[in-house]
A and B are shown apart, each in its own frame.
Chain A
Amino acid sequence: MSHPQIELKEITFNYHEDDKKALDNVSLSINPGEWVALIGHNGSGKSTLAKTINGLIRPTAGEILINGEKLTEENLWDMRKMIGMVFQNPDNQFVGSTVEDDVAFGLENQGIPREEMLVRVKDALERVRMSEFTLREPSMLSGGQKQRVAIAGVVALRPDVIILDEATSMLDPEGRAEVIQTIKKIKDESNLTVISITHDIDEAAFANRVLVMNSGQLVAQGTPEEIFSGNRELVEQGLDIPFPEKLKAALEDREIEVPQEYLTEERLVEWLWTSGLKK
């Protein structure tokens, strides 16, 4: 493809006039099939950025291009079909009274004929492994299951892009891992673009690219390796670093020499047992 899938050009936004800017001159582009993680401390403008991408918020200045086409008031609803969004609170985004109703909700909105809906709902629920819960009510599901239903609702719409707006932040570690695995599997199957906004550093470590936001500005971007290795600035900004990096820092404090490059958990284990900790 000649142009990036999503391109933001000098986006600025403030919730109230003469207030502090929630987004300040943000430019970025995302390529098809990429997994991008957006990190930053609370109030850094991550969620606002996500909402501007599918037009839930209209920026005060700048423009958004989706597949090279400018997002406007007229084509907003067509653009939105390409972008699915999963929100933070699993309870508040459940529209239907049962699992299958909820998955079908987006399809109903697009006026998709019923026969097609039946196929798509079944397929989407299979892909998030919720098939046996078809007729359950939301109050009978766990948080992680509700979030998987929300993903199914997005998957059924067959979008090109999925935005996860802190979709795992209210889940327990188990539900979190479950949701991330589901997304990863679906991404690999259908070559989706994933934009995940997160506090969970392990989730960010999955990404192809990490964007760091601070008070409405994009302050850094790069691969997880580049962003996380030896980056004590992140900690100062109130962000966490992945566990291998933490261990490396702790070892360094005890004056043990560690490799400078970024290590995944596996590679850290490898390094640990080969190094023999020469003592």
Chain B
Amino acid sequence: MNKLLLGRFIPGDSFVHRLDPRAKLLTSFYFIIIIFFCNNFVSFGVMFLFVLAAILASKINLGFFIKGVKPLIWLILFTVSLQILFTTGGEVYFKLGFLTVSEFGLVNGAYIFFRFVLIILMSTLLTLTTAPLSLSDAIEYLLRPLKAVKFPAHETSMMLSIALRFVPTLMDETEKIMNAQRARGVDFNEGNLMQKMKAIVPLLIPLFVSAFDRAEDLALAMEARGYRGGEGRSKYRVLRWTLKDTLIIVSMVVLTALLMWVRN
């Protein structure tokens, strides 16, 4: 259960931690988009340097980032090997039936690999340095313009923050139910695929029931405390945009310019 890095947040007080979550969210998204403009090794190098600088500024142990890449390693290897084996062009090094290892294939494979790693590093950096709640605040703020097209921005962010608040609670619950069922003889790791799937049932059904019960209790408690939706609500948490947030945005512009200059 503890392997899950999704939404994991490591509290700290570094430069990256103190950035406005909106700035971080926008920067990360923008960064992921411009990764696709990279088309030579120098441009990837530039991007790597940027991410490295950001990671160093976050003062978070590099080990966490490697852990972030780990669960996706098979996906990466799979995609990279497909690229290598099925791209043709340039000098051919090896050929077997329809499988070819060529110069273009190797280069494309390397690009894909770098792209994956960069995207994972950047999104891991975002979740590691931003408290889930600030993240949902930022999302609410950034979705606000969509209200014009009747998009329920407040509801979405409320849903998001409740979901995030209940992640640890439901994890604990899962653990407890698993132990309770183990005490009655359910084995979660043995047998073939079919048996394993069947073993999930005594875990899943109680979990669903308790999630609905919790939802009902929570709704009642919210109503008793005067919750009536987004209208007329004030906000306890405020987002503060400071000079360093503007600087981060400027740095993205600089990075884009640099990228355009070094790419072919």
Contacts and interface: CB of A to CB of B under 8 A. Distances in A.
A91 B225 contact: no
Interface stretch (B48-56, B97-105, B215-223, B244-252): B215-223
A168 B115 CA distance: 54
A80 B226 contact: yes
Interface of B: 131-133, 161-162, 164-165, 168-169, 172, 213-214, 217-218, 220-228, 232-238
A66 interface: no
Contacts of B169: 91, 138-139
A132 to B, nearest CB: 16
Contacts of B235: 108, 114
Question: Quick one: which of A80, A87, A109, A110 has the most chain B CB within 10 A?
Answer: A109
Given A92-B214, A96-B165, A107 B234 contact: yes
A105 interface: yes
Contact of A92 (B132, B168, B218): B218
A91 B214 contact: yes
Nearest to A137: B168
A128 to B, nearest CB: 16
| 9 interchain residue pairs of minimum CB distance | A93-B221, A92-B217, A104-B236, A139-B168, A106-B225, A109-B226, A97-B133, A85-B224, A97-B165
Given A77-B228, A92-B214, A108-B234, 14 more contacts: A87-B224, A93-B217, A95-B162, A95-B165, A95-B227, A97-B131, A97-B161, A97-B164, A98-B133, A106-B226, A109-B233, A114-B236, A114-B238, A117-B234
B226 A92 contact: no
A85 B217 CA distance: 13
A91 to B, nearest CB: 6
Name the prevailing secondary structure of the B interface residues: helix
B227 A87 contact: no
B123 to A, nearest CB: 20
Contact of B224 (A56, A92, A96): A56
Interface of A: 54, 56, 77, 80-81, 84-85, 87, 89, 91-98, 100-101, 104-114, 117, 121, 137-139, 153-154, 157
A81 B224 CA distance: 9
9 contacts: A84-B224, A87-B221, A92-B218, A93-B218, A96-B165, A108-B235, A108-B236, A109-B233, A114-B234
Nearest to B236: A104
B191 to A, nearest CB: 33
A138 B217 CA distance: 16
A192 B27 CA distance: 50
B217 A89 contact: yes
A121 B226 contact: no
